[in-house]
Amino acid sequence: MLDEKMTAELIAKAIEQLAFSYTPYSNFKVGAALLSKNGTIYTGCNIENAAYTPTNCAERTAFFKAVSEGVKEFQAICVVGGKDGVLTEYAPPCGVCRQVMMEFCNPEKFQVILAVSPEKYQIFTLREILPLGFGPDNL
């Protein structure tokens, strides 16, 4: 379980990522902060594309940055998002991002923090947001 200080740091870093979001089509900005088991925090923002399919979510951006540097064990991720970067409600990960999490994370222990502000957030396990997830243990 994360302590309040680390939770606040992840929320702050996810919010900072909104400034880097590239969203000329939806204007829905998303930021993510991914905590590895070694304590390093990897960040990500969503990056849209005119062809839509090549668009990459903030969560996957953070995961791919970490994995590309050899890190494959994670504790938690914080995700924030909103129209024009204004945080008014939770922005849960899409199904594709949940599947990427399932590839690298223990669904019983990995924590997903959905936040609107440092004071307003909820924490879920990956299992709670992906109850019947298919992962490496299924093969």
Q: Which sequence positions are flagged as catalytic?
A: 59
Whole-angstrom distance, CA of residue 41 vs CA of residue 34: 5
Whole-angstrom distance, CA of residue 105 vs CA of residue 86: 29
Whole-angstrom distance, CA of residue 87 vs CA of residue 85: 6
User: Could you give the angle at the alpha carbon of 128 between the alpha carbons of 88 and 1, nearest 5°?
Assistant: 85
Whole-angstrom distance, CA of residue 47 vs CA of residue 128: 27
Whole-angstrom distance, CA of residue 31 vs CA of residue 107: 22
Whole-angstrom distance, CA of residue 23 vs CA of residue 57: 11
CB-based contact 43:17 (threshold 8 Å): yes
